[in-house]
Chains A and B, each alone.
Chain A
Amino acid sequence: MANVTLRNVRKTYPGGVEAIKGVDLEIGDGQFCVLVGPSGCGKSTLLRMVAGLETITSGEIDIGGRVVNAIEPADRDIAMVFQNYALYPHMTVYNNMAYGLRNRGMARPEIDRRVREAARTLEIGAMLDRKPKQLSGGQRQRVAMGRAIVRQPKVFLFDEPLSNLDAKLRIAMRVEIRKLQRRLNTTSIYVTHDQLEAMTLADILVVMNGGVVEQIGNPLAIYQKPATTFVAAFIGAPPMNLTPIDAAEATARQPDGTGAGGAILGVRPEDLALTDDAVPAGGIGYELTVEAIERVGAETFVYGTRSGAAAAVSANPGELPPGEIVVRLPGQSAPTIGARVRAVAPRDKLHLFSADGRNRLGG
């Protein structure tokens, strides 16, 4: 078992593209660390650097007290589960799992014992003689997990292992991965772009964007106090409502002067309520025209445009367009489309960010 420590790790590709711009990360023994971020944010690159599949331009990666920068992937004592599983198509399930052990010169009885034990754990005992082609997606996923488990490595690395599965299976496997990791108590690093997966799996959540770490911490702490507007918009679905406010209002809300250049006000959809009452002191109120309604059963999302704002589309996928506010209502009751409503939130539910979105103001 082992700690994994990254010290100012950087990756610059030949040609000058900087994929990782200095990452510091400390993962404790047995912890489950999830790297999350949009495509191209560098999360997979970082994982592959830990695995040894990408070179490290500068900085240090330390696994279990040993700097592994110059050590071959096979000798780093890690096991990796790939997005497309990367099973050897010509080998049986048994041989897929045994291959890495044989290459290490392990004795036959020990290999057999480990493979059968992993197969029992993952409930693939009946498929040991089949080829990957004869397995379903979920079963292949299990074999890929099995191949990692039999190694009994210091660290598990997962590179979006669930993204090729259908939605239902993904949730089931997500829970299984978490249980398995708890039982084996092996330090794990898991890469995903799915914020729900990230929230549910992580002991430590690392939100990345553009090659830098935006925030590291406990998933709920990050949800409650996002450090930047990027994190605020990325973690949580639908995303946090973010509206720019002018210097006067910012100073009123944040008297220490940090909001002198204007600020961005954020409020989560579930913290807004539709009401006819007056806006509470220090809170926020939006006058909205209802544009769209999504009913998903247990909850209902109401999308409205603020009066005075022009209809627009969002600049980035996953973000709300300017002027649009989303409100999450419990249950199934909702106003009609076109109705004019007021959405309010109390003061303690508001988030305040600097105008460039890079810093959280206040607590």
Chain B
Amino acid sequence: MVEREGIRRYVAHAVLWAGIAVVAFPVYLAFVASTQDNAAIANGQMSLLPGSHFLETYYRTIFVGTSGTTREPVGMMLLNSFVMAMSIALGKIAISILSAYAIVFFRFPFRMTVFWIVFITLMLPVEVRIYPTYKVAADLHLLDSYAGLALPLIASATATLLFRQFFMTVPDELLEASRIDGAGPFRFFKDTLLPLSRTNMAALFVILFIYGWNQYLWPLLITTRDDMQTIQVGIRKMIVTSDALTEWPVVMATSILAMLPPVAVVVLMQKLFVRGLVETEK
């Protein structure tokens, strides 16, 4: 780092603090709102200090849900979101590490063609192919199921590419030593490649979990039952624009709850995550 002198350093710090405030204040406000009485918020008399309804609001949010709009306990939504994000993250890692293994270490006809087809799907995100995907999912009776939530989002060109790049840095001699040591393709994968990919998998898991957690459009389409909806969809449904009164403390509590799992994943896996991004273990 370049050491800055005098006033410039204070300016730099001021800018950083301003940035933090801009990002953190809405989160703080959401938390404060979730602990206030709904009437106070509706009247526009919300205090900037936490109120006294913390336990009450969060209990109601998690186990009961709103009284008017969705009526589904947020605990269920959290579970749905968690199952979906976990399935997507783990599924994507499993599928892409296997396909990258095939593409890098095996010689088969049309190997590069397969690779390019996978590569081209990068240009087709969920939103672009959403109608045909919905049709396929519906025909397979996947509507309102965990499989329907997760399966169509599992195929991943990005993760395949990432693993391919990593596998190409694995020295050929390691494979040859394994062959001489009597390890077949499966043993080499299990005993050598998987342990070496540990940090890569962790980094991918963090990214993919958050990707899955933040899905909105696909769960909105594929689920119709209240007990199958994810928290992202749930928040939206809680906010009413008609004459009924939005229960803002519950909405805010739900938002805070929706933020916690991704934060937890990042905090818990931070060490591995950073290593996976910067370090190549040799």
Query: Taking the nearest CB of chain B, how far is it from the CB of A158, in angstroms?
Result: 13
Interface presence of A135 (CB below 8 A): no
Interface size range of chain B in the complex: 10 to 19
A86 and B176 in contact, given A99-B181, A100-B182 (Cβ under 8 angstroms): yes
The answer to whether A53 and B191 have CB atoms under 8 Å apart is no
Chain B contacts for A52, CB-based, 8 A? 179-180
**With an 8 A cutoff between CB atoms, is A13 at the interface?**
no
Report how many A-B pairs have Cβ atoms within 8 Å: 61
B residues in contact with A333, CB < 8 Å? none
Contact B176 A89 (CB under 8 A): no
* Segment at the B interface, from A76-84, A236-244, A284-292, A351-359: A76-84
- The contact string, 1 if C-beta is below 8 Å from chain B, for chain A 267-278, is 000000000000
Given contacts A84-B171, A90-B195, contact A104 B182 (CB under 8 A): yes
In this complex, which of B180, B183, B187 has the most chain A Cβ atoms within 10 angstroms of its Cβ?
A: B180
In the complex, how many residues of chain A place their beta carbon closer than 8 angstroms to a beta carbon of chain B? 25
Closest B residue to A100 by CB, please name it: B181
Closest A residue, CB atoms, query B181: A100
Q: How far is the CA of A72 from the CA of B180 in the complex (A)?
A: 8
Name the residue on B nearest A84 (C-beta): B173
B122 within 8 A of partner (CB): no
Pairwise interchain contact A80-B177, C-beta atoms closer than 8 A: yes
Contact A88/B192 with A74-B181, A100-B181, A103-B181 known, Cβ cut-off 8 Å = yes
Task: Let me know if B192 and A53 touch, CB within 8 A.
Answer: no
In the complex, given contacts A73-B176, A82-B177, A100-B182, what are 12 additional A-B residue pairs having Cβ atoms less than 8 angstroms apart? A52-B179, A52-B180, A73-B180, A75-B182, A80-B180, A82-B176, A86-B171, A86-B176, A89-B196, A90-B195, A90-B198, A103-B183
**Is B281's CB within 8 Å of the partner chain A?**
yes
Residues of A within 8 A of B195 (CB): 90
Query: B163-180, CB under 8 A of A: which get 1 and which 0?
Result: 000000001011011011
By secondary structure, the B interface counts as: helix
Cβ of B135 within 8 Å of any chain A Cβ, yes or no, is: no
Which A residues from 53 to 98 make CB contacts under 8 A with B? Answer: 53, 72-75, 78-80, 82-90
CB distance from B166 to the nearest CB of A (A): 13
Contact of A191 with B by CB under 8 A: no
Please give, as numbers and ranges, the residues of chain A lying within 8 Å of B196 by CB-CB distance: 89-90
Residues of A within 8 A of B176 (CB): 51, 53, 73, 80, 82, 86
Footprint of A on B, CB under 8 Å?
171, 173-174, 176-177, 179-183, 187, 191-192, 195-196, 198, 281-282
B173 partner residues in chain A, CB cutoff 8 A: 82-86
Contact B281 A89 (CB under 8 A): yes
Interchain nearest-CB distance for A269 vs B (Å)? 38
How far apart are B97's CB and chain A's nearest CB, in angstroms? 16
Q: Pull 12 A–B residue pairs with CB atoms less than 8 Å apart, ordered by A.
A: A53-B180, A72-B179, A73-B179, A74-B179, A74-B183, A79-B180, A80-B177, A82-B173, A84-B173, A86-B173, A87-B177, A88-B192
Closest 3 CB pairs of A and B: A100-B181, A86-B173, A74-B182
Q: In the complex, which residues of chain A have a beta carbon less than 8 angstroms from the beta carbon of B282?
A: 89, 133
Chain B min CB distance to A87 (Å): 8
Chain A residue with Cβ nearest B192: A88
Give the nearest-CB partner of B179 in chain A.
A73
Residue from B171, B176, B181, B281 whose CB has the most chain A CB atoms within 10 Å: B181
* CB atoms of A88 and B174 under 8 A apart: yes
CB distance from A345 to the nearest CB of B (A): 46
Whole-angstrom CA separation of A86 from B177 in the bound complex: 7
Question: With A88-B192, A89-B281 as given contacts, are A103 and B182 in contact (CB-CB < 8 Å)?
Answer: yes
Residues of A within 8 A of B182 (CB): 74-75, 100, 103-104
* Interchain CA distance A74-B181 in the complex, whole Å: 6
